[in-house]
Chains A and B, each alone.
Chain A
């Protein structure tokens, strides 16, 4: 069951402030890094909603993000639709696709769910990869960013765009937090814990899980828009299953089922990747070793481990005071 604790709120707020400061002080390079963190953090949040709270470990969220990016690209580049309605439509397509996957895979669980989502994701990847109209493996360029000149903002400015990406994390985190604390989120957590009993209570668990996939995909859709606007170019690589795999690693790195953890995981992953890759080409090994360490030490992730340490410490202090 999700609890938006003070610790989670404070750590999240500090993280966002840290990213903002990094952008302000770090200039162009920092802005680019922060946008990468934002895209990864939003996909990680969306995966945490279904995997951490619904027990649905998905390997298709990269494809859903890519589908959103491609819908945005097609509508803006090929049909000249303005960026805002194109974004809304793209997020809608992502949510619909996710709901459909959730509905079809709702009767499966565990390894079968993972494989089914992998199959859906790879089908979407292959279709786009093979489509000459969509640019095939060459991808599609010339995607516009939002025009915020009415508000005095230049979205082509790296710092402004980085702040827009940070706002994207905050909105997605808040939306996920609200939904997880709603009746919908409580029921999802109940289904994760004891699906048979929830059915006996009268809950259509398949439909509920499909809706959860839909909501989670909506968030991934937002990541897709930010990713597409960032590079203003999209390619089928966005949909490849390794994107989902990387996001899943980020969730585990930060702390599955904590919501704040995936954000911390995305920050740690991108920053480590950039720091270590400047020293060696084998940065994967360092991330891999860190991941093994986390899994072996209880699988709570960086933030999850911190929460665990805090709760243990609080209990010990309470016992000492009582004694």
Chain B
């Protein structure tokens, strides 16, 4: 589904991604772990085309997307949420979701018809708002929403484009336990044929939701395996988990 071959990225003398190879299968939930500065967000930026790699290849369904722009990759079904909220602050939650849904439905060029009145767009918005628990504040302006609601909307926007591959960059960063539970439920409610990549710092959540885990350190893949294999790996424990004790 999503394959990365020997991907590298350097800024001058600084290498932020080094020979990264991944193969995320259809419907797989892959968690990317790693300490701060490991290159996790850089990897996402490379995948969606916001950064151009120095070398390597990225394939979706076996076809290289390296020459495609950010919007072209999105139209191939690649969607992402951001670590720092990247919303439409002056619009309401509903309008935010409608922009995403209309774009995902390729309804952005109608000049005589309003996508905000389109039944298919409304259906997606209602579904996503329900999933990310924003239905109650759907007509509130984003600028007046709480940080937690904004994080929910961040994920909601990525979902509203109806992607085939969903990349989420620390979706639960800075939110409380109740919202982390909500996010867990959201993931469980998503269709199993949706391929998901998540950068996550909440280790309990990460181990719970992952089919496989990739650990990055200094821009390199240092480990890949199932959650059980990750728990038992001493290298991973040394570089990332430190003295963290496994509850399982």
Residues of A within 8 A of B (CB): 1, 178-179, 181-184, 186-187, 190, 193-194, 196-205, 208, 211, 215
18 contacts between A and B (CB under 8 A): A182-B112, A182-B114, A183-B110, A183-B116, A183-B118, A184-B111, A187-B99, A187-B103, A193-B91, A196-B50, A197-B87, A197-B88, A199-B71, A201-B74, A201-B103, A202-B71, A202-B104, A205-B71
The answer to whether residues A184 and B90 also contact, given A200-B79, A201-B74 and a CB cut-off of 8 A, is: no
A177 to chain B, nearest CB (A): 11
- Residues of chain A with a CB closer than 8 A to B69's CB: 199, 204
Known: A193-B90, A202-B71; 14 extra A-B contacts, CB below 8 A, are: A181-B114, A183-B107, A183-B110, A186-B116, A194-B86, A196-B50, A197-B88, A198-B103, A199-B69, A200-B48, A200-B74, A201-B79, A202-B104, A202-B161
CB-CB < 8 A to B99: which residues of A? 186-187, 190, 198, 201
Q: Mark B101-135, 1 if CB is under 8 A from A, else 0.
A: 01110111111111110100000000000000000
Give how many B residues have a beta carbon under 8 Å from the other chain's beta carbons: 37
Task: Name the residue on A nearest B90 (C-beta).
Answer: A193
Contacts of A181 in B (CB 8 A): 114
Q: Are A187 and B111 in contact (CB under 8 A)?
A: no
Q: Which residues on the A side are within 8 Å of B118 (C-beta)?
A: 183
Flag whether B205 is at the interface (Cβ < 8 A): no
- Judged by DSSP, the binding face of A is helix
Q: Which residues of B contact A (CB under 8 A)?
A: 48, 50, 69-72, 74-75, 79-80, 86-91, 95, 98-100, 102-104, 106-116, 118, 157, 161
When A184-B109, A186-B102, A208-B108 are in contact, do A194 and B87 touch as well, CB less than 8 Å? yes
Interchain nearest-CB distance for A198 vs B (Å): 7
- Asked if A187 and B70 make an inter-chain contact with CB atoms under 8 angstroms apart, the answer reads no
Q: Output the residue of A178, A198, A200, A203 with the most chain B CB within 10 A.
A: A200
Residues of A within 8 A of B115 (CB): 182-183, 186-187
Most chain B CB neighbours (cut-off 10 Å) among A178, A181, A182: A182
Contact check, A197 vs B112: say whether CB atoms are below 8 A apart: no
* Cβ-closest 4 pairs across A and B: A202-B74, A183-B115, A201-B103, A183-B110
**Within the complex, what minimum Cβ distance (angstroms) separates A187 from chain B?**
4
- Across the interface, which residues of B come within 8 angstroms of A205, CB to CB? 71
Residues of B within 8 A of A1 (CB): 90-91, 95
